[in-house]
């Protein structure tokens, strides 16, 4: 069984990005610049944004963090987005989710220029991805694709089952795995909470990608021997044996599924670290005008 190490792979990608940024600097080119907007004081969101800012520094990027109060109006937030859209010094813009309930995520997402949408959430980038045109691919799906590629996992002609249909992971993942290319050329079944015979369908998968958001939902009896299992879920549960008082688990019951799989991502240390690496890669593409020239 191969343990797919996202932590090491993301570190490799960040080193590659840092090397390219050093070349750009030596050539007198423009250093990539990522801007992040954080609304409110949610602890998890602050942790995520701080990790992204730190990663920018590690790769030699410039970064800007805009902090807004939770009571900020939708109009005020949209104005900040517009200002960053029009700032030629900034290459990528992310708005950390979730947003307060009085703000429309769709309005904010649609306000971001596709050229700066390094999260890959705007309709323009989703559409370009579906057409297999140059696009900023959403960070988590892109990270999974990169893991499959770097671990030389065969996808052509394989049956890939995706559990979960979110706009952030499941839906784009199903499109990417079906596209003509590598990784891709798979026969894809997209399943979700209302799928009948889900267990039976999961057992038919050569590649099982689980992004349902339910702790340890996938058990060994749902996995075909030798399948590749990608666990996108992350949940914090109480554990008195740990110094922190908790531990992290995924959507897959790791120990029993790992015994049947040919390759599997752990939680933590699997898909999670790849998300930031993918975000940085998209920002580098933006700075070098590789997608929207």
- pLDDT tens by residue, 4-44: 999 999 999 999 999 999 999 999 999 999 999 999 988 88
Q: Is 189 helix (H, G, I), strand (E, B) or coil?
A: strand
Q: State yes or no: is 289 an active-site residue.
A: no
Q: State yes or no: is 14 an active-site residue.
A: no
Does residue 189 carry a pLDDT above 90?
yes
pLDDT confidence tier of residue 242, bands split at 50, 70 and 90: confident
pTM of the model: 0.94
For 28, 52, 113, 117, 285, the CA distances from 88, given in Å and listed in that order, are 17, 21, 12, 14, 15
Q: State yes or no: is 52 an active-site residue.
A: yes
Does residue 228 carry a pLDDT above 90?
yes
Q: Which of the residues 52, 111, 116, 158 is marked catalytic?
A: 52
Q: Which of the residues 119, 206, 231, 251 is marked catalytic?
A: 119
pLDDT tens, residue by residue, 49-107? 999 999 999 999 999 999 999 999 999 999 999 999 999 999 999 999 999 999 999 99
Q: Which of the residues 14, 96, 116, 158 is marked catalytic?
A: 96
Q: Is 209 helix (H, G, I), strand (E, B) or coil?
A: strand
Predicted local confidence at residue 80, as pLDDT: 98
Does residue 243 carry a pLDDT above 90?
no
């Amino acid at each position: 069984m191969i343990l797919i190490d996202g932590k090491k792979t993301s570190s490799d990608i960040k080193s590659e990005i840092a090397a390219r940024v050093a070349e750009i600097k030596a050539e007198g080119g423009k250093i990539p610049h990522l801007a992040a907007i954080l609304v409110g004081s949610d602890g998890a969101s602050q942790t995520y944004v701080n990790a992204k800012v730190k990663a920018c520094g590690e790769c030699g990027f410039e970064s800007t963090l805009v902090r807004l109060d939770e009571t900020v109006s939708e109009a005020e937030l949209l104005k900040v987005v517009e200002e960053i859209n029009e700032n030629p010094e900034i290459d990528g813009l992310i708005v950390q989710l979730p947003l307060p309930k009085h703000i429309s995520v769709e309005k904010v997402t649609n306000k971001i220029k596709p050229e700066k949408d390094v999260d890959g959430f705007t309709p323009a980038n989703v559409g370009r991805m579906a057409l297999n045109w140059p696009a900023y691919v959403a960070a988590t799906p892109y990270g999974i694709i990169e893991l499959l590629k770097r671990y030389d996992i065969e996808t052509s002609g394989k049956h890939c089952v995706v559990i979960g249909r979110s706009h952030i992971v499941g839906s784009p993942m199903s499109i990417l795995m079906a596209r003509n290319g590598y990784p891709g050329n798979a026969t894809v079944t997209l399943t979700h909470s209302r799928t009948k015979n889900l267990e039976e369908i999961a057992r038919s998968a050569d590649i099982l990608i689980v992004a349902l958001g339910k702790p340890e939902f996938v058990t060994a009896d749902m996995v075909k021997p030798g399948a590749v299992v990608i666990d996108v879920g992350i949940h914090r549960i109480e554990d008195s044996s740990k110094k922190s008082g908790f531990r992290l688990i995924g959507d897959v019951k790791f120990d029993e599924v790992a015994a049947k799989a040919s390759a599997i991502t752990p939680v933590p240390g699997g898909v999670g670290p790849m998300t930031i690496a993918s975000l940085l890669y998209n920002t580098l593409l933006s700075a070098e005008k590789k997608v929207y020239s």
